[in-house]
Amino acid sequence: MTPDQARSPASAQATSVGSPANAGSPASAGVSRLSGRRAVVTGAGRGLGRAVAWRLAAEGAGVVAADLNAEDLEQTVAGSPAGGAIVPAVADCSRRDGLEQVFDACATLGGVADALVNNAAVLSGGPVTDVAEEEIERVLRVNTIGPMLATTAFARRLVAAGAPGAVVNIASTTAHIASLPGLSTYAASKGAVLAYTRAAAADLARYGIRVNAVSPGWIRTAMTSGIDDESDAPLLRRIPMRRPAEPAEIAAAVVWLLADDAGYVTGTSMAVDGGWLGY
Ligand SMILES: NC(=O)c1ccc[n+]([C@@H]2O[C@H](COP(=O)([O-])OP(=O)(O)OC[C@H]3O[C@@H](n4cnc5c(N)ncnc54)[C@H](O)[C@@H]3O)[C@@H](O)[C@H]2O)c1
């Protein structure tokens, strides 16, 4: 596909990797919005990444689920819903070598990946006065450099194949507001992800590759196991819906951004936060 063809709506229809006939129909109606797609999900061993892998598979996509933890990945594969295959890839998604293995694993699904969810991340807490240089480097490596390297590896393969695709970067409300004390390193890593999302979208639009972000608020996962409804009532009071998200509620937004329904959406971020950012 030439850059001009990629910009043309008619061409977008002709080369669409989803199923236009299914556009706008909910998964609950038994329609597969990602049928025929091949997706990579990083950090898919547990939490949001696992929920995203399951939802993409349920929508008909083949999924490479990547994570550092092999045992967790086994459970992700074991719980896979009918509809799409999930292939595990044990790899460090913050390093080029690991990411090359992950994208190579897509061959077992029949071709290059046309969907990427940059989800792997680490949470790091502590006041600005205490944070160690090594910790800053670790967090930026996993949360920011990893998604950048993954997007590069993903886009190179897609451009070489002349095919369109979509990336969703998992950011955070902390990229938008100073939501909680002690999260400066994590917040900076996610703020950079948002800036990268906008700039990469501008770069890759001519190839028919869209890049967007989802900014979750508080999700019930292992990452936030130290937070509970009772001791963190002040946090809940800042969320108009007065509850954390279930991982599946974030996964639903990821599906929409990857699917053809979002065909004219790129370079933006969607808050899925129970109203937190608007309050
Ligand atoms: N939980 C929340 O409240 C919350 C809020 C906003 C944003 N987020 C974001 O959502 C995403 C998922 O978070 P979660 O709550 O599911 O976290 P989690 O800690 O439960 O899961 C993260 C997964 O990423 C994997 N991982 C970490 N480093 C990796 C690496 N280098 N290579 C491969 N895999 C790696 C871990 O092994 C783990 O399976 C993250 O990007 C996180 O920043 C979470």
Between 199 and 84, where is the model more confident?
199
Residue nearest to atom 33 of ligand 1 (CA): 67
All structural domains of the chain with their residue ranges: 34-268
Check if 279 is active-site: no
pTM for the model stands at 0.91
Cβ neighbourhood burial of 9 (10 Å; 0-12, 13-18, 19+): exposed
User: Does 48 contact ligand 1 (Cβ within 6 A)?
Assistant: yes
Tell me how far apart the alpha carbons of residues 103 and 89 are, in angstroms, rounded to a whole number. 9
User: Does 144 contact ligand 1 (Cβ within 6 A)?
Assistant: no
**pLDDT tens profile 222-263:** 888 877 666 677 888 899 999 999 999 999 999 999 999 999
pLDDT of residue 4: 35
User: Does 221 contact ligand 1 (Cβ within 6 A)?
Assistant: yes
**What phi and psi values does residue 167 have, to the nearest 5 degrees?**
-120, 140
The DSSP call for residue 187 is H
The average pLDDT across 108-121 equals 98
Tell me how far apart the alpha carbons of residues 253 and 270 are, in angstroms, rounded to a whole number. 8
186, 196, 207, 264: the active-site residue: 186
Domain 34-268: state its class: alpha beta
